[in-house]
Structure 1
């Protein structure tokens, strides 16, 4: 199978159970459905396998069976990840944000910019890990050197076959003198150059295989002059480019911007025309409910990174308020500010943080109504602020796809949408329904494969599942990661921890 998309691929037909979240809080389990892709990897048929039309299709084309105890679900979207920081993930999380950047982040990024072979190794391993954990679309911060970011773009396209938005950092100010661009003009010229070269790199591919795109990336306000920010805003508008940055992330960063600029992050970005429907801003933990409505009005999306917020922000993100305000929200791992590249962990952490917020709200409300309470104490009569696992799954799939403005229908199984999906197995059918990984099913009457797939089974996977349950990954209808295990007859590509090449 050609990895460059030059060869026409065959249509595929898959029969089994499918799970998706078309709307916030809603999960649909579609039992025994038939899904067909066309030669471009888009879904051109999806319906119950019992329909006469489905039977006619299966009479003329072999259907790949998804065994009992398994299901197909859309791939995850990671809206915020620092690719060079994968070099040191899981270390150095003991410092405040601004100190951490100087001690760890800038050094690692500078190291990759000076060693192209190291960059290649780091980025290949990152691509493999993303696929292993079911991520099909990712927005990446890179480094300041154009050539290093072109390595990242090439690796994501050739090795990972991921939908990747690759950002060359723009920063004309830095606390590390050796890691900064010479001027706003030089930074803007480099941004132009990277975008041109990144687009040109994949121009020969069919349009549906051009999975990697450039994204303008002012690191954050402290590393960018106002001239650079306004220049990037003009460039984004002129060329219709995506934008990513960090906004209102941590107490020390917020105070730094107020002192240096005399206004808040939100105002700086808005005045630079960098809050657009093509923008993803990470974190936003220090935005009030009113400011979240302002963000919604611009069409800007937010990458919620609950794990890194726990380390580097003194505030949890107001997730429920953002959703209620109409902000497009997805999840991010924020490697290496977060230590896990697995979006499943981000989902669980998002729920946990929201539950803690709800607990704090409930306790505060109880105290404010007690006889001993200060009569001037502000009370909170708003509705609950927690989210549940179904909503978190939406954020990781359909919500993330909308935030990234992926092709129509991404994150769902809809005719016309690209087939980006994960094959999940809960049990080993040949071993009398033995559970896989951390999962356990003690009651035979409700065991996957014996009983029909239901919400409780999906929830248990959501809570306890890991890469051992992930049989394979499809991007744009193509198998990009596959484990040769157990019995499925569908073995197009061998995969043992690394994507097949």
Structure 2
């Protein structure tokens, strides 16, 4: 048995602060200690209370002067879009044709996929992201490479090969039959291995035939712990296209529901141009939204109404959506989420922000029993934030008089430089 005791200021959330109130939902220990046993959390609290009970064999790791919190959870990101991040000037559908599909075509090459997968995961760790729901390309090789690299690092990654058998270039097209076969082979090889999970991944309804969506729904129903990961209502032209393709559907969500893809394991990225009764149905089925403010702003897609979604009880997590998103940093994503919420008429509270980036994301991905906070028995994925990462951050934090103000400043001024260490299952996998 390996016991570690991590010293430093500690912050985490026990629940949604808007549901039960910040006093009940948050825990902050200015002089705290996190006790780990074989990669799992065994205690979290004040150092003065926990330190006397440590045995003589415990390893002490001192991060005094820093802030320790659970690792970030990215609920929507495309690992094959590394080399097209910050591509100029297009809206969603043109952007896919001009940049995305040519870039993704390269992932038929296993060597390219492996090199990108390793860089991608190191970039996640450098930015403090310890778990993610990840899109691959249509090529089985892309997900083989990603899962292999994630398994070596012990990361909790859920991913799937993209399914798209129509309305896309030949180089990034599968068939309904081959997509189903490839998905099943990947599930057999990787799902449940280490901390890996598989997501059935239709690109979006316009890129998938009825046969392909039918097979995706059947696969999701057959294996009860798979996720389903897709896009919905990101762009107005996309919405019009879906109406043309599915004139008998009540709305975009109804298309997915028709094929058995609206479940409590479904994660829909974006959901900007929808609301009301659609959110009501999502909540009734336990589906989740990945809110991707950075990419929505970058592509000019629109502003997600977080308050509207949560009014109906929809689970919401945050996604960087690289490569339309322009940063792997969840801190920078919180920065953009705050601004989007302001434009939609409400200020996003810092406690709520960090809930979305940690425990809220874990709930959206159905992994809150494993990660998301420091409750006893959770996997010990956590990050250490450097409170003097930049001269401006150091100066501004000196004026903070409360943890909520500190968190807000971190979300406005923080970025990859703020992450000094990232731990996966109690082992340091990144150190600045």
TM-score clears 0.5: yes
- The structure 2 residue matched to 1:169, chosen from 156, 162, 173, is 162
- Secondary structure of residue in 1 paired with 2:172: coil
From 206, 219, 222, the counterpart of 1:222: 206
Specify the alignment match of 2:381 in structure 1.
Answer: 420
How far 1:10 moved relative to its partner? 2.2
Aligned to 1:192: 184
CA distance in 1, matches of 2:391, 2:161: 38
Aligned twin of 2:101? 106
Deviations 1:191-213 (A, max 9, x none): 212222223xx74xxxxxx1222
> What are the within-5 Å matches in structure 2 for residues 82-231 of structure 1?
82-92=78-88, 94-113=89-108, 115-158=109-152, 160-181=153-174, 183-199=175-191, 203=193, 210-231=194-215
Task: Tell me by how many angstroms 1:127 deviates.
Answer: 1.0
Matches of 2:390 and 2:168, distance apart in 1: 48
**Shift in CA distance, 153/477, structure 1 to aligned 2, threshold 3 Å:** same
Residues 325 and 339 of structure 1: is their aligned pair in 2 closer, same or farther, counting only changes over 3 Å? same
CA separation of 1:237/1:70 partners in 2, compared to 1, >3 Å: closer, same or farther? same
Name the CA distance, whole Å, in 2 between partners of 1:333 and 1:477.
Answer: 25
Which residue of the other structure, out of 449, 452, 469, is the alignment partner of 2:418? 469
| Pairing 1:440–2:394 present | yes
Range moving further from structure 2, 58-67 or 398-407:
58-67
Q: Which of 40, 43, 50 matches 2:41?
A: 43
State the alpha-carbon separation in 1 of the partners of residues 283 and 391 from structure 2: 40
Distance 1:118 1:314 in 2: 30
Query: 1:67-466 residue pairs with structure 2 within 5 A?
Result: 67=64, 69-92=65-88, 94-113=89-108, 115-158=109-152, 160-181=153-174, 183-199=175-191, 203=193, 210-240=194-224, 241-262=226-247, 263=249, 264-312=251-299, 314-358=301-345, 385-408=346-369, 410-427=371-388, 436-441=390-395, 454-466=403-415
* Aligned-partner Cα distance in 1 for 2:301–2:339: 16
Does structure 1 conserve the Cα–Cα contact (< 8 Å) formed by 2:332 and 2:415?
no
Distance in 2 (alpha carbons) for counterparts of 1:342 and 1:49: 30
- Classify 1:259/1:62 alpha carbon distance in 2 versus 1 (closer, same or farther; 3 Å): closer
| Distance across 1 between alignment mates of 2:212 and 2:59 | 56
Measured after TM superposition, the shift of residue 14 of structure 1 is 1.4
SS of residue paired to 2:338:
helix
Alpha-carbon distance between aligned partners in 2 of 1:46 and 1:97, rounded to the nearest angstrom: 44
Residue 418 of structure 1 and its aligned partner are, at CA, apart by 1.1
Q: Distance in 2 between matches of 1:317 and 1:102?
A: 24
How far apart are the structure 2 equivalents of 1:298 and 1:137? Answer: 24
Structure 1 residues 303 and 442 mapped into 2: Cα distance closer, same or farther (>3 Å)?
closer
How far does residue 116 in structure 1 lie from its aligned partner after superposition? 2.1
Change (3 A) 1:70 1:453: farther
Give the 5 Å matches for 1:52-71: 54-57=51-54, 61-67=58-64, 69-71=65-67
Aligned equivalents of 1:14, 1:37: Cα separation in 2: 8
CA RMSD of aligned residues (A): 2.1
Quote the Cα distance in structure 2 between the aligned partners of 1:132 and 1:282: 24
More divergent stretch after superposition (211-220 vs 18-27): 18-27
Q: How many residues align?
A: 422
1:83: how far off?
0.8
Q: Which ranges in structure 1 are unaligned for 5 or more consecutive residues?
A: 1-8, 204-209, 359-384, 428-434, 484-501
1:59 offset after TM fit, Å?
5.4
